[in-house]
Structure 1
Amino acid sequence: MRIALPAVLLTALLVFPGVLPNTPGHLGSLVETALPWFGLGIPLLLAAAAVRRSLKGLAFALVPTVAWAALFGPGLVPFPQPSPGRTDFQVLTLNVGGDRTAPRDVARDILAADADVVALEKVPNDAMKTYEQELHASYPHRATGDTLGLWSRYPLHGVEKLDLGGAWPHAVRAVARTPVGDTAVYAVRLPSVRVTVREGFAVRRRDASAARLAERVARDPARRVVVLGDLNGSLRDRGLAPLTHGLRPAGGGSGHGPGFTWPAAFPVVRLDHVLLRGLTPTGTTVLPDLGSDHRPVLTGLRSVR
């Protein structure tokens, strides 16, 4: 019983995190964000079974082990994958904030990634001109708004700064004339979240902005849509469900790790995402630390026929 009950509870948490209430303190969102790390309880259960020399305890401990492996194992084991076919164009997203960021060095690394459309978030005001100068030769088309920017090899039109209810525009939208036709591209940085004594997991502003963005994307007349940016949350977090309801996550490549992006030096959660409509991913890679506090995400895309 000392092993069985914790094993059953851990398995239920891994498989059905949505049953947790979100009050008090948005507990459900917090657990969903940290869900892969609850696997750290599995070695403790296995160790307890070994110490007790209990085969029944071992059997119970294997239940959450199997559940965790089914949920998160595919991102860790390099199983052979079918060929994704052609890639029509590539997109990259990076939050370039952080004390270690050197704009010219980051711009050089962005150029080396060879994306066709680049979204940068949390660009310091005094660094925006540097990025514009360094990226202009390869990305002659751009759309910027406060701390957000889109750089593109393809012409951009229909540029909008979107008010998502924050103190500044949290999204910039533009239509890129990509090889597969006009594609609406959003550069996004949703409001930050914090864990506080008073509010718990303080996600209220982020959730509200995510809902407003989801409404705007749902009304977007473009057949093809790409949302790039720092959503300040895991896509398992119920607070981002309005976005994932109508958009497909690009996800991470199998065998390349869990795809965490923050903090860059030792990532423990994925905050930076690529969401799609009318397009399919041909591969997603989390690139190495470029000096920001986030890691960049590079995704190949092709049109859905």
Structure 2
Amino acid sequence: MKIVSWNLLRRVGASIDDVVALIEAEQPHLLLMQEATREIDHLPSRVGGAYARSPLPGRIHGVACWSPSGFLAPPSVWPLQPGALVRRVCQIVDCGAFAVANVHLSHGQVLNRRQLRLIAERLPRCGAVLGDYNLVGPALLPGFRDVGPRGPTHRMADMVGVRLDRCLVRGLECERTAILPHRPSDHHPIMVELRVRS
């Protein structure tokens, strides 16, 4: 399964036209988005497929997912431990043989690791966690391997590149990974190709 994850940077970043262009260029089986606003809700009218968005409580944006072939079940939403300013949720997509968690974790370097542990407890044996981790350094999540691209995925004040967008897996193999060309967000999209470990 080819999965692309992208933090859109809500109102001032990627538009729905940019998302459509990414879909047309990459042809993912699953697209995960963070900081998606109501504008992105029109995606199915532009490219078909199935779409679901889960706003963060009290925010104009949230996590969203799109699939060209539909979902086995409506994506579920799990609340995560809240940060000081923002309450977070995790979106779970059932992919049949495994589940994918779409995340936009808190900035606190202890809190975001606690959020990851909660997600790991709830995922099935084969699962992946993709998205904007807001995490610096190793994730330290027992049983999971970091298989996402290793280069900088976010530019801070147009100067310092850091790796915030990640993919952790359990019971899965990653066959290919890439940081995709930069678009109008402050994050690069990342791509992974995953399969169940034989």
Query: Aligning the two structures, in what range does the TM-score lie when normalised by the shorter sequence?
Result: 0.7 to 0.9
Deviations 1:111-153 (A, max 9, x none): 31111111101112x3232334334x2xx23332111112123
The 1:262/1:157 distance shift into structure 2, 3 A limit, reads same
**1:175 paired residue among 79, 90, 94:** 94
TM-aligned CA deviation for residue 155 of structure 1? 2.8
Counterpart for residue 142 of structure 1: 51
Matches within 5 A, 1:211-230: 211-217=117-123, 220=124, 223-230=125-132
**2:35 paired residue among 119, 122, 130:** 122
Per mean C-alpha deviation after superposition, the further-off stretch among 261-270 and 114-123 is 261-270
CA distance in 2, matches of 1:184, 1:142: 16
Counterpart for residue 103 of structure 2: 188
The amino acid of 2:39's aligned partner reads A
- CA RMSD, 1 decimal: 2.3
The 1:249/1:120 distance shift into structure 2, 3 A limit, reads same
CA distance in 1, matches of 2:34, 2:116: 16
The structure richer in helix per residue is: 1
The 1:208/1:302 distance shift into structure 2, 3 A limit, reads closer
CA distance in 2, matches of 1:145, 1:92: 18
TM-aligned CA deviation for residue 154 of structure 1? 4.7
The percent of aligned pairs where both chains have the same amino acid is: 25
The structure richer in strand per residue is: 2
1:283 and 2:168 equivalent?
A: no
Pair member with larger Rg: 1
Deviations 1:185-214 (A, max 9, x none): 1111101x2xxxxxxxx5343233233223
Deviations 1:158-185 (A, max 9, x none): 63211112244421112124xxxx3211
The amino acid of 1:157's aligned partner reads A
CA distance in 1, matches of 2:66, 2:173: 21
8 Å contact kept, 1:141–1:156: no
CA distance in 1, matches of 2:51, 2:170: 22
Unaligned residue ranges in structure 1 (runs of 5+): 1-88, 194-201, 253-257
The amino acid of 2:65's aligned partner reads L
8 Å contact kept, 1:120–1:148: yes
The amino acid of 2:148's aligned partner reads G
Matches within 5 A, 1:42-57: none
CA distance in 2, matches of 1:288, 1:266: 17
TM-score, normalising length: structure 1: 0.55
The amino acid of 2:143's aligned partner reads G
The amino acid of 2:91's aligned partner reads V
The amino acid of 2:73's aligned partner reads H
The 1:211/1:115 distance shift into structure 2, 3 A limit, reads same
The 1:161/1:169 distance shift into structure 2, 3 A limit, reads farther
Where does structure 1 differ by over 4 angstroms across 4 or more consecutive aligned residues? 264-267
Question: Which secondary structure state, in structure 2, belongs to the residue aligned with residue 293 of structure 1?
Answer: coil
TM-aligned CA deviation for residue 215 of structure 1? 2.6
